[in-house]
């Protein structure tokens, strides 16, 4: 049983890492700010979710699971907020975005 859980962890974390790689590739290769943001948020959120999912079997007890989920939710929330801000700045034509 635990071998299966370890296997699941490895697969999920690898998949998550691949998603991050894809998101970073999009960040580098896409032409403008909005498409880059799109690649970044979609891929990175999925990647983070997969990594957290993969780490859940390794967490110690219910508290560990809840902490991992809290980290995931907070990271998603703040990431979404920052993405909206950058997109608004890009929409205004701000150079830095």
Partner 1 sequence: MNGVDAALALVVSLTAFWTIRVRAAFIAVAAYTGCGLLIALVWVRLRAVDVALTEAAIGAGVTGAVLIAAAARLRPAEEAANAERPARRLRAVAAALSVTVALALAVLVLLPADPAPSLGREAVAPLDDLGLGNPVTAVLMVYRGMDTLLEKLVLLLAVIGVWSLAPDRFWGGAPAAPAIAGRNGPLLLAARLLPPIGIVFAIYTVWTGASAPGGAFQGGAVLAAMWMLVLAAGLARIPAVTNRRLRLLLAAGPATFMAIALAGFLIAGAFLAYPPGLAKALIVLAEIPMVLTIALVLALLAAGPPAGEPER
Binding residues vs partner 1 (CB under 8 A) = 74, 77-78, 80-81, 84-85, 88, 92, 95-96
Q: Which of 21, 26, 20 is closest to 39 using CA atoms?
A: 26
Q: Which of residues 60 and 92 has its CB atom nearest to partner 1 in the complex?
A: 92
Q: Which of 19, 60, 71, 68 is closest to 41 using CA atoms?
A: 19
- The span from the CA of 11 to the CA of 46, in Å, is 14
**Residue 1 Cβ vs partner 1, minimum distance, rounded to whole Å:** 26
**Residue 70 Cβ vs partner 1, minimum distance, rounded to whole Å:** 9
Q: Which of residues 11 and 71 has its CB atom nearest to partner 1 in the complex?
A: 71
Q: Which of residues 32 and 95 has its CB atom nearest to partner 1 in the complex?
A: 95
């Amino acid at each position: 049983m635990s071998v299966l859980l370890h296997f699941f962890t490895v697969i999920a974390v690898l998949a998550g890492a691949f998603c991050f790689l894809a998101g970073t590739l999009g960040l580098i290769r896409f032409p403008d700010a909005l498409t880059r943001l799109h690649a970044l948020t979609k891929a990175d959120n999925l990647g983070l979710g997969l990594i957290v999912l993969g780490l859940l079997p390794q967490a110690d007890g219910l508290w560990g699971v809840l902490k991992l989920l809290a980290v995931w939710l907070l990271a998603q929330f703040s990431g979404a907020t920052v993405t909206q801000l950058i997109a608004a700045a890009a929409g205004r034509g701000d150079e830095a975005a």
